[in-house]
Amino acid sequence: EAAVTQSPRSKVAVTGGKVTLSCHQTNNHDYMYWYRQDTGHGLRLIHYSYVADSTEKGDIPDGYKASRPSQENFSLILELASLSQTAVYFCASSDEGRNSDYTFGSGTRLLVI
Amino acid sequence: GQGVEQPAKLMSVEGTFARVNCTYSTSGFNGLSWYQQREGQAPVFLSYVVLDGLKDSGHFSTFLSRSNGYSYLLLTELQIKDSASYLCAVRDQGYNQGKLIFGQGTKLSIKP
């Protein structure tokens, strides 16, 4: 079954530390996305990618980097984690990005202390 | 400004119906999607609409009016298990045609 798998499921990080969130999809989709979800804000797009070795900035990219080393893998990197980055992070994939729906991963709950 | 707006909460009664509203204002429009998200879980795709009018999918129906920037998700014969958040998302147009802009979600609570 096609799926999007995120790791870790949850993480506690120290302010100023480096955090890497990983996402792996078996959908054979070209498009991958990273969203964060906060109460009252819904899902906000951080970074996305149309093809391996290329990433694009979303609506709230500050403080985050992304890496797409292959079609299947898409990582989100917090070089210097801050308290404001405490949130639930969702990875998603879609096919061709036009009229197809997103398949989401189960989410990563990140707590920065 | 640009964005997708939804009411934060909605309450209804088991066996009746609920209508979740969504209004949007975006630079382009290439369709609107609805997702269901249960507490602590990932969003799950429900419906996609791009043409005006009502799209009946049984338990869920969706309506779109592009001229008014308005959509709703209609749930009929409500069950307790329909209690969840419902997310509206507009697909942008142009180069970034795959990008979805989400509303904050509407938390639907259903009473017996």
State pLDDT tens for residues A62-99: 999 999 999 999 999 999 999 999 999 999 998 865 55
Residues of chain B with Cβ-Cβ distance to A96 below 8 Å are 98
Containing A33, the helix (H) or strand (E) segment is strand A31-38
Q: Return per-residue pLDDT of chain B as tens, 112 residues.
A: 578 999 999 999 999 999 999 999 988 888 899 999 999 899 999 999 999 999 988 899 999 999 999 999 999 999 999 999 999 999 877 555 567 889 999 999 999 9
Measured distance CA(B74)–CA(B37) in Å, rounded = 16
When pLDDT is averaged across residues A37-61 and rounded to a whole number, the result is 91
What are A45's strand-pairing partners? A35
Phi then psi for residue B82, to 5 deg, are -80, -5
* Length, in residues, of chain B: 112
Interface-testing mutation among B30, B96, B107, with chain A (most A C-beta atoms within 10 A):
B96
Strand partners, A20: A77
CA distance B40 to B73: 22
